[in-house]
Amino acid sequence: MIRKNTLKSAGKSVVSILFAIIWAFPCVWMILSSFKPTSELFSYPLHLFPQEWTMLNFHKALQEFDILQYMGNSVFVAIVATIFTVLFSCMCGFALAKYDSKWLSFFFLCLLSTTMLPTEIIMSPSFEVIRALGMYDSLWACIVPAIGSMTGIFLMRQFFVSVPNDFLEAARIDGADEGVIFFRIMFPICMSQVAILSIFSFRWRWNDYIWPLISLYTKEKYTLQLALRSISAMDSISLDWGLLLGASVLTMIPVLVIFVIFNKQIMSSSMSSGIKG
The CA distance from 181 to 179, in Å, is 5
Least CB distance from residue 110 to other proteins, whole Å?
6
Least CB distance from residue 247 to other proteins, whole Å?
9
The CA distance from 33 to 29, in Å, is 6
Least CB distance from residue 145 to other proteins, whole Å?
4
Nearer to other proteins by Cβ, of 117 and 191: the residue is 117
Least CB distance from residue 59 to other proteins, whole Å?
19
Nearest-10 crossing angle of helices 2-34, 241-273: 140
Q: Which residues contact 86 (CB under 8 A, 6 or more apart)?
A: 152, 194, 197, 198, 201
Least CB distance from residue 229 to other proteins, whole Å?
5
Nearer to other proteins by Cβ, of 198 and 251: the residue is 251
Least CB distance from residue 19 to other proteins, whole Å?
6
Nearer to other proteins by Cβ, of 23 and 53: the residue is 23
Nearer to other proteins by Cβ, of 192 and 263: the residue is 263
Nearer to other proteins by Cβ, of 188 and 277: the residue is 277
Nearer to other proteins by Cβ, of 52 and 100: the residue is 100
Least CB distance from residue 182 to other proteins, whole Å?
7
Nearer to other proteins by Cβ, of 12 and 219: the residue is 12
